[in-house]
Amino acid sequence: GNSVTQMEGPVTLSEEAFLTINCTYTATGYPSLFWYVQYPGEGLQLLLKATKADDKGSNKGFEATYRKETTSFHLEKGSVQVSDSAVYFCALSEGTGRRALTFGSGTRLQVQP
């Protein structure tokens, strides 16, 4: 079956530090990959996505590249802000058949001023 593995949190960084949140996956076929973010008190929002190998998704300074050879989709940001404090979820959906998202366990990011 499908699965997504994310690094355990919380991740605590100082403002302007570099962020990496690791995500690896197991899937049949050719999945699409997503990062969703959940800010405190808010619902899940799509942050970025990639639908095929070597695609790079980007949004709000965050980037992630779909690496088929390493089955990874690591999230990066060059300079985090306090407002980036949230829980980040890596997810996949299969290329065929089931469209439901399979989520990782989430990584809480805390950015200190």
Q: Which residues bind another protein (CB under 8 A)?
A: 32, 34, 36, 42-46, 49, 51, 89, 91, 93, 95-96, 98-106
Give min distance, CB of 16 to another protein, in A.
30
Pick the closest to residue 78 from 21, 11, 8, 16 (CA basis).
16
Supply 113's token pair.
């001023």
**34 burial class (0-12, 13-18, 19+ CB within 10 angstroms)?**
buried
Give min distance, CB of 50 to another protein, in A.
8
Nearer to another protein, 18 or 39 (CB): 39
